[in-house]
Amino acid sequence: MDCPRILRQPYSTYLFMERCMFGRHAEKDHILDFLMQPSSLSLDVLPIIGAQQIGKRTLVEHVLKEEIVQKHFSCIIRLNNDDLNNLENDSTIKRHNLISFSERCLIVVELQHDADLMAWGRFYSSFSSKINITSKVILSSCMQKVSTLGTTKPLKLKKMRSDEFWNFFRTLSFGSENPYEHQVLLSIAMEMARLAKGDFLCAHIVSRVLRTNFSAQFWSHILDLMIKGERLHFHLFGEHAYDRVRKKREMDRGVPTITVEDMLNKTAVIPSDGNFEVLRWQSPIAPYYSYMGNCVVKKTSQFAPKERCLKRKRKTGL
């Protein structure tokens, strides 16, 4: 099974799992092979395609942290859609050191929307002739059409197998505890993992809450919330909550003080009415993104029952 080797000490296990890349080692080797291969006559481009929040950024970051990559490339440049659309801005060029393209660079580009494809085309037309031929490009996107922009076969990320995800979720949820000493909790956790359907974000959120209280009553309560939430989502949108496209915001745009963990533990101070943002999860590993959610509190209308006048029946004499 394509899983990382886990340290034997029970306490270190979940700490390691919180910060490691789990179940993507074949994909990581694939990217490393691409980066270390001798360059062709044109700029080599590898597309990485996968659904949102499936782990594309995390996978790339773990590749960039490899010593062999850092020694091989003189500079690593990350570009998002805002950068691509503002390349004529001198500050953008200086901030990303785009004038150093004479060196061997690794360029990582995120393409999120159709407009980004046009921006990438403009970037490629403007800078491809200036970029050192030994440089490499990684295109990360959830759009299948990006596959055609590569000079090599795209790397397509899929969800974890159910057995891999269960191993991941179980380790995170029980932390330093031995799961096989808590058979009741183990069965509850299995049902939670089934409901999560391979969603990493859900696994991190739920497991952090579970580790705060190892009582069967508390875990059953969280499971009940997950079941009710799934039913409500199906009723409103006709699909699983974690199958919907979720919007992500960068950390520098402000992180909410209310967390999902606080809401589940009933320790959050929630506004009595209106919209508010919650911090769903903050990644403990690079690139340390924060994932937000929007919530709405609506006051229920209270109707006072109308007073009814009781009619008295007259007794009629015979």
For residues 5 and 187, the model is more confident at 187
Using CA atoms, how far apart are residues 25 and 63, in angstroms rounded to an integer? 10
CB neighbours of 10 closer than 8 A, spacing ≥ 6? 176, 177, 178
Q: Tokens for 122?
A: 């403009």
Nearest to 51 by CA among 107, 2, 4, 112: 112
Of 38 and 290, the one with more pLDDT? 38
Q: What percent of the chain has pLDDT over 70?
A: 70
Q: What is the model's pTM?
A: 0.66
pLDDT at 82: 80
For the chain, give the number of residues. 318
**What is the structure's pLDDT at 149?**
93
Beta bridge partners of 137: 45, 107
Instruction: Find where tokens 């409103």 sit.
Output: 236
Q: Check pLDDT > 60 for residue 4.
A: no
pLDDT digits (tens, 9 = 90+) for 238-273: 666 655 544 444 434 556 767 777 777 777 767 777
**pLDDT higher than 80, residue 122:** yes
* Six-digit token string for 189: 């956790």
Convert 188-226 to b/e letters by CB count within 10 Å (16 or more is b): bbeebbebbebbbbbbbbbbbbbeeeeeeebbeebbeeb
Rounded distance, CA 89 to CA 85, Å?
Answer: 9
Query: Which of 242, 188, 245, 190 is CA-nearest to residue 220?
Result: 188
What average pLDDT score do residues 143-163 get?
91
Per-residue pLDDT of 32-90, as tens digits, reads 999 999 887 778 999 999 988 788 988 898 899 899 999 999 889 888 888 887 765 55
Average pLDDT for residues 173-199, to the nearest whole number? 92
Q: How far is the CA of 148 from the CAs of 187, 281, 295, in angstroms?
A: 45, 33, 38
Q: How far is CA 286 from CA 20, 58, 142, 223, 282, in A?
A: 10, 7, 20, 30, 10
- Is the per-residue pLDDT at 9 higher than 80? no
Residue listed under structure tokens 């690079």: 286
Higher pLDDT, 122 or 314: 122
Confidence of residue 201 (pLDDT cuts 50, 70, 90): confident
Please name the residue that has the structure tokens 């020694």: 71
pLDDT of residue 287: 56
Give, in degrees to the nearest 5, the angle at Cα 285 between 2 and 269: 120
Q: What pLDDT, on a 0 to 100 scale, did the predictor assign at position 98?
A: 56
Lowest mean pLDDT among 76-80, 190-194, 202-206, 286-290: 286-290
Report the alpha-carbon distance of residue 116 to residue 146 in Å, rounded: 10
C-alpha count within 13 angstroms, C-beta hemisphere, residue 5: 2
The model's pLDDT over 129-148, given as tens digits with 9 standing for 90+, comes to 777 878 999 999 999 999 99
How confident is the model at residue 70, as a pLDDT? 94
